[in-house]
Amino acid sequence: RQIAIYLSRQLLDLPFNDIGKKFNRDHSTVMYSVTNVEEKMKESRELREELETLKQMIREI
């Protein structure tokens, strides 16, 4: 779920509140999810590559 929230923020540039409504979560949970994924990306090259692949796949749709 955190990755889906992160990708929603990155690709759609929606406000945290709007993303939270779609995932039935509070805006603070969305903020935490985005920050958490960003921190994990700093530590993991594999995660960065996987997220980039997902972004490309979504953009092609």
Q: pLDDT value at position 48?
A: 98
What percent of the chain lies above the pLDDT cut of 70? 100
Distance of CA 36 to CAs 14, 31, 32, 59, 60, Å? 18, 8, 6, 23, 26
pTM of the model: 0.92
| Spans of all domains in the chain | 2-60
Q: pLDDT value at position 43?
A: 98
Per-residue pLDDT of the chain (61 residues; tens, 9 = 90+): 999 999 999 999 999 999 999 999 999 999 999 999 999 999 999 999 999 999 999 999 9
- State whether CATH 1.10.1750.10 applies to domain 2-60: yes
What does the alpha-carbon distance between residue 43 and residue 37 come to, in Å, rounded to a whole number?
Answer: 10
Q: pLDDT value at position 3?
A: 97
* 16: enclosing H helix or E strand: helix 16-22
